[in-house]
Amino acid sequence: MSQNERFVKKITPKSVDFSRWYVEIIQKTELADYAPIKGMMVIRPYGYSIWENIQSIVDKRIKESGHTNAYFPLFIPEGFLQKETEHLKGFAPEVAWVTHGGSDELEERLAVRPTSEAIIGNMYAKWIKSWRDLPVLINQWANIVRWEKVTRPFLRTTEFLWQEGHTAHETSEEAQEETLMILSLYKEFVETELAIPVISGMKSEREKFAGAMKTYAIEAMMSDGKALQMGTSHNLGQHFSKVFNIRFEDRNQKLQYVWQTSWGVSTRLVGALVMAHGDDSGLKIPPRIAPFQVVVIPIAIGDWKKNILPKAQEIANGLKKKGVRVKLDDREEFTPGWKFSEWEMRGIPLRLEIGPKDIEKGQVVTVRRDTGQKEALAQASLDKKVIEFLSDIQKNMFEMALKFQEENTHEVKDYAEFKAVMESKRGFIKTFWCGDTACEEKIKDDTMATIRVIPHDIEKKKNSRKCIRCQKPSESLVYFAKAY
């Protein structure tokens, strides 16, 4: 068995144990490691560079849509949370409390930020006085603490990183427009940059955010057939503005409560990249989000530092000038085969190999991570071809994920088939539901499947269909799935 084969076989196959595969990928590719505190992780440089790329792209889109960044305190007075009982009830089991400052007991407990509606609501009440102050379009990049009982790196950890937007508007219509605009922004970002297809829509009453009037989400299918919520956008209505007394003098000089939204995506997106695209050899990272888009590996044979390394450096520098993120792997302590396997596992979209024969022929050997296709390219046209390859890899990764989603989205004829699919195939089930929360809960009890979204772009036809479980008339087409 070669060193190359041993390196790859360290990973448990997905088909054997998906959960173990997922954790091994994260640790062996150095995305993250377990912290010495239960439920927490250390995001390592390779994983954090992916998050930085996500953050940079999302931040640009948020700013282009008219929002600005700010920062609010990590600690929230208990009284602020108690003002909104439904909101506090939704987070109470997960709130971490600070009771002492040094050796002194605090007069009032402080919550370590589980989300920021309460502290931001308090500030907006101070800042907003007139319709001229609206809209307020603020986003913050922050850390969040939720004391989860069951954790998994990136997907659900006690502390995680995210962005949370909080906006205030003059009318209900403006708030709803904002909510859907952000949902569309998230969908476009995830599909375009992460190459992960999503379905978008509204959450059921049972699944919505505590305190929201309406919650919308984008949901993706992971490669084990389970769904992952990738981002949420909430229309808060006037719920929090009434609790925190956020009022303004309108154009008719009458006091009105503002209409609010909140929305966010988190480091969960890194976990989604692993589960949506990864295979038994490791990560597959879409070029637009990859820390390195290309790795150049000079073949260490003979006097390679004199004959091969300079050409490899020239190639790497040329690509960098074209805006390509390049890693030149000139380490002496590892064989070329070991390097091939390592970068394959780390998911670099395109590998360039150059050895003595390639120098003679004026070529470079390229290997695509998405397909494994190997091709020799002339050095003279390399820059142009590499850029074309990266674009094609991005497109192909999305198309492969979309094909998987489509092949694992089911329409069932009755509840028995519904249960059979959830037991054996997983995936999305696209069907009708009566709208009754009790019926929704019964389906979850029977199958562990929940309503992921109610598509908001589907025309409703009252009484045209029947609920998959109770057979009552239904106008709600929904997507069910088992979910993370």
What's the CATH number where 457 sits? 3.30.110.30
302 and 442 co-located in one domain? no
Write the DSSP assignment of 174-208 as a string of letters.
HHHHHHHHHHHHHHHHHHHHS---EEEEEPPTTTS
Confidence of residue 461 (pLDDT cuts 50, 70, 90): low
The yes-or-no verdict on residue 15 having pLDDT over 80 is yes
The yes-or-no verdict on residue 359 having pLDDT over 70 is yes
Question: What pLDDT, on the 0 to 100 scale, is given for residue 179?
Answer: 98
Distance, in Å, from the CA atom of 166 to the CA atom of 410, rounded to the nearest integer, reads 36
**420-423 long-range Cβ contacts below 8 angstroms, 24+ apart:** 422/447, 422/448, 422/449, 422/480, 422/482, 423/447
Question: What pLDDT, on the 0 to 100 scale, is given for residue 3?
Answer: 45
Give the CATH number for residue 46: 3.30.930.10
For residues 28 and 282, the answer to whether their CB atoms sit within 8 Å is yes
110 and 250 co-located in one domain? yes
208 and 142 co-located in one domain? yes
Say if 215 falls within a structural domain. Answer: yes
Q: Which two tokens stand for residue 193?
A: 């940059």
Question: What pLDDT, on the 0 to 100 scale, is given for residue 167?
Answer: 98
Say if 84 falls within a structural domain. Answer: yes
Compute, in degrees rounded to 10, the torsion defined by CA atoms 92, 94, 95, 99: 110
pLDDT in tens, 401-459: 999 999 999 999 999 999 999 999 889 999 999 999 999 999 999 999 999 999 976 54
148 and 261 co-located in one domain? yes
115 and 204 co-located in one domain? yes
Say if 60 falls within a structural domain. Answer: yes
At residue 93, the 3 state secondary structure works out as helix
Listed in order, strand segments (DSSP E) in 67-158 are: 68-69, 75-77, 96-101, 104-112, 136-145
Which of 213, 248, 277 is a domain's end point? 277
Question: What pLDDT, on the 0 to 100 scale, is given for residue 465?
Answer: 86
What's the chain's Rg over C-alpha atoms?
Answer: 25
The yes-or-no verdict on residue 2 having pLDDT over 50 is no
159 and 17 co-located in one domain? yes
Distance, in Å, from the CA atom of 317 to the CA atom of 299, rounded to the nearest integer, reads 18
pLDDT in tens, 190-244: 999 999 999 999 999 999 998 899 999 999 999 999 999 999 999 999 999 999 9
pLDDT in tens, 95-149: 999 999 999 999 999 999 999 999 999 999 999 999 999 999 999 999 999 998 8
- DSSP label at 13? P
222 and 347 co-located in one domain? no
Say if 245 falls within a structural domain. Answer: yes
Question: What pLDDT, on the 0 to 100 scale, is given for residue 86?
Answer: 64
% pLDDT > 90, the chain: 89
Give the CATH number for residue 335: 3.40.50.800
Range of the domain at 476: 409-481
Which of 356, 390, 424 is a domain's end point? 390
Say if 88 falls within a structural domain. Answer: yes
367 and 417 co-located in one domain? no
pLDDT in tens, 89-98: 767 789 999 9
Say if 165 falls within a structural domain. Answer: yes
Question: What pLDDT, on the 0 to 100 scale, is given for residue 1?
Answer: 41
108 and 148 co-located in one domain? yes
The yes-or-no verdict on residue 365 having pLDDT over 50 is yes
Q: Which two tokens stand for residue 470?
A: 């109770």
Say if 4 falls within a structural domain. Answer: no
Which of 277, 302, 318 is a domain's end point? 277
- DSSP label at 199? E
242 and 323 co-located in one domain? no
The strand pair at 41-43 and 374-378 is best described as: unpaired
Q: Which two tokens stand for residue 181?
A: 């605009």
Alpha helices in 351-461 (DSSP H): 356-361, 382-407, 415-424, 437-447
pLDDT in tens, 323-358: 999 999 999 999 999 999 999 999 999 999 999 999
Distance, in Å, from the CA atom of 424 to the CA atom of 385, rounded to the nearest integer, reads 43
151 and 230 co-located in one domain? yes
Q: How many domains does the chain have?
A: 3
Question: What pLDDT, on the 0 to 100 scale, is given for residue 87?
Answer: 60
Say if 469 falls within a structural domain. Answer: yes
Q: Which two tokens stand for residue 250?
A: 């309108």
434 and 300 co-located in one domain? no
The yes-or-no verdict on residue 61 having pLDDT over 90 is yes
The yes-or-no verdict on residue 84 having pLDDT over 80 is no
- CA distances (Å), origin 422, targets 64, 405, 441, 456: 41, 15, 15, 24
pLDDT averaged over every residue in the chain: 94
